[in-house]
Amino acid sequence: AQKITQTQPGMFVQEKEAVTLDCTYDTSDQSYGLFWYKQPSSGEMIFLIYQGSYDEQNATEGRYSLNFQKARKSANLVISASQLGDSAMYFCAMREAYNAGNMLTFGGGTRLMVKP
Amino acid sequence: NAGVTQTPKFRVLKTGQSMTLLCAQDMNHEYMYWYRQDPGMGLRLIHYSVGEGTTAKGEVPDGYNVSRLKKQNFLLGLESAAPSQTSVYFCASRGHQETQYFGPGTRLLVL
């Protein structure tokens, strides 16, 4: 079974509008972490935001927020006021419990395209 | 402030050739990782290290070897390259915080 599922292969959003990128996860661990990374066309992986499973508040970082719904096992990324530079691939990832290597498992990604 | 660097940026190999990818980090991080990314997919973990002198297998370790002789360096080796190893390889490191920081990637083409 997929541990991280991103059901939207591609999405369009109008510049200055908000957009939500979906991520659902599967784990039986009580302690885990959820991450979002951005990969622009240049190829680098840029860390955006982190949510711990015990964090009561949804994480926010500037225009990025993580809509964490623990019971539904979803960790959607919300980008407010989209900009042309937000066009990129976005990956959701999970770190389960405190495994020896603190490894991340990635979803398949969502390609976001911002229209001017 | 280099962060995580990778050498080389791009390489073409013939089937059966060997090569080593170098990852270096200047953040004094304990954990280091090697991932591969195939077209249209997320990253998959090849090998990782939790400290100098230690290595462990990830999700897709076959055909690769690694070494961590110095804390700041993590080497990924391909002993006999195969076309299936054509991919983009990312190195990452992590300190005591949760976040993994990634290098710029190495594009490898095996003919």
**Contact assessment for residue A105 and residue A6, using Cβ atoms and an 8 Å cutoff:** no
Please tell me if residue A44 touches chain B, with a CB cutoff of 8 Å.
yes
Question: β-strands B87-94, B19-25: how paired?
Answer: unpaired
pLDDT band at B1 (very low <50, low <70, confident <90, very high): low
Among chain B residues, CA nearest to A51: B98
Judge: A93–B42 Cβ closer than 8 Å, yes or no: yes
11-70 in B: which are within 8 Å (CB) of A? 31, 33, 40-45, 48-50, 56, 58
**pLDDT averaged over chain B?**
94
**pLDDT tens digits, residue range A6-56?**
999 999 999 999 999 999 999 998 999 999 999 999 999 999 999 999 998
Question: β-strands B87-94, B100-102: how paired?
Answer: antiparallel
Judge: A45–B102 Cβ closer than 8 Å, yes or no: yes
Predicted confidence at residue B76, as pLDDT, reads 98
pLDDT band at A1 (very low <50, low <70, confident <90, very high): low
Please tell me if residue B88 touches chain A, with a CB cutoff of 8 Å.
yes
Q: DSSP label at A58?
A: P
**Contact assessment for residue B3 and residue B88, using Cβ atoms and an 8 Å cutoff:** no
**pLDDT tens digits, residue range B85-111?**
999 999 999 987 778 999 999 999 999
Q: DSSP label at A59?
A: P
Give the nearest partner residue to A50 out of B44, B56, B99, using CB atoms. Answer: B99
- In angstroms, the Cα distances linking B64 to A74, A113, B20, B55, B76 are 34, 35, 10, 12, 7
Is the model's pLDDT at A100 over the cut of 80? no
Give the nearest partner residue to B42 out of A43, A95, A106, using CB atoms. Answer: A106
Predicted confidence at residue B99, as pLDDT, reads 87
Q: DSSP label at A85?
A: G
Of the two residues A15 and A102, the one the predictor is more confident about is A15
**Contact assessment for residue A95 and residue A102, using Cβ atoms and an 8 Å cutoff:** yes
Judge: A101–B99 Cβ closer than 8 Å, yes or no: no
Judge: B99–A35 Cβ closer than 8 Å, yes or no: yes
Tokens of B18: 């060997």
Judge: B98–A52 Cβ closer than 8 Å, yes or no: yes
Predicted confidence at residue A45, as pLDDT, reads 94
Integer Cα distance of A61 and A50 in angstroms: 9
Question: β-strands B56-57, A64-69: how paired?
Answer: unpaired
How many Å lie between the alpha carbon of B18 and the closest alpha carbon of chain A? 24
Q: Give strand pairing partners of A85.
A: none
Integer Cα distance of B65 and B15 in angstroms: 17
